Amino acid sequence: MLMTLQFPLPNVPLAPRAPSILSKPFGSLFSLTLFCLIPAASALAATPAGSSVMLEELTSTELRSRIDHGATTVLVPIGGVEQSGPYIALGKHNVRAGLLARQIAQKLGNTIVAPVVSYVPEGAISPPAGHMRFAGTISIPPAAFEAVLEGAAASLRQHGFRDIIFLGDHGGYQKNEQNVANKLNRAWGKASTAKDARAYALLDYYDITQSAYIAELQKRGYGSAEIGLHAGLADAALMLATDPSLVRSEAMAHGPKPGVADGVRGDATRATAELGQIGIKLQVDTSVVAIRQLLQRNK
């Protein structure tokens, strides 16, 4: 039994007290605690195991079942590790690619998201060029990158995926994605299976951020120099809309304004999550429409 000790002051009448949970017998306290836990347990039980669209969050058995029941489309998000000046973290492309791929897969249905490909070409290493001049950027040769995509796609095909779609969040390797898709389709087209797999480089996913999204920002009064080509307003806004913890907003508001020498082309000072949501919605909706058209065309 849980006991409470009371020491009333002499000659001072005690005011009536509301019953304390600590004054209840231990059995009652245990029952109340168990009662409070029941709704939480019920909520957990209401979420079916293996319902995630993320391949890494499924067991092998769960994935096998999902493929057997029609989930034969897989997205391969591609990010990268590159500098984005002093105010945006190095992993921006990885985070955006993974989060947007999840949203696209959920809208498509019967779609799984493979792990994000994080190692990509970023320019010459020695002597360093482009982003490699700044700490943290990781670059691999284009041939190695293409080999990684080929191996990943071949693995996914082996397990029963029939539509394998590359989603590249960075402009520098869009041609490499297309090269790999073309090479795989030539090889798979010679396979004996009547309905074999196909690979796609969904260039629309990236292109929309360089066209319609820029136009939407310009409609709202932002100029090209401010929107920028790298780590400017557009880049920071997209990041604020996906993971604001990767943007150093306080430092950006009060610190020096970076320029080309700092790895920045644009001005992110006025970036907001609301502006980023415009771009995120364009990327997700455009990708969903484009993928549905691809799948319908190749039935």
User: What pLDDT tens digit does each residue of the chain (299 aa) get?
Assistant: 444 434 344 444 444 444 443 444 444 444 444 444 444 444 444 446 678 999 999 999 999 999 999 999 999 999 999 999 999 999 999 999 999 999 999 999 999 999 999 999 999 999 999 999 999 999 999 999 999 999 999 999 999 999 999 999 999 999 999 999 999 999 998 765 546 899 999 999 999 999 999 999 999 999 999 999 999 999 999 999 999 999 999 999 999 999 999 999 999 999 999 999 999 999 999 999 999 999 988 77
Q: Is 253 left (phi over 0), alpha (psi -120 to 50) or beta?
A: alpha
Is 189 strand, coil or helix? helix
Full-prediction pTM beyond 0.85?
no
Closest CA to 109 of 71, 75, 77: 71
**Residue 174 CB neighbour total at 10 angstroms:** 18
Which pLDDT does position 49 carry in this prediction? 62
CA-to-CA dists, residue 145 to 9, 30, 121, angstroms: 78, 57, 7
How far are the Cα atoms of 33, 144, 149, 182, 238 from residue 114, in angstroms, in the given order? 41, 19, 11, 20, 22
Residue 283: partners with Cβ closer than 8 Å, 6 or more residues away: 100, 205, 208, 209, 213
Angle between helices 233-242 and 212-219 (to 10 degrees): 100
Q: Do the Cβ atoms of 86 and 255 come closer than 8 Å?
A: yes
- Within the chain, strands assigned E span 73-78, 111-113, 163-168, 198-201
* One-letter amino acid of 256: P
Tell me the HSE value of 297 on the side-chain side, using a 13 A CA sphere: 9
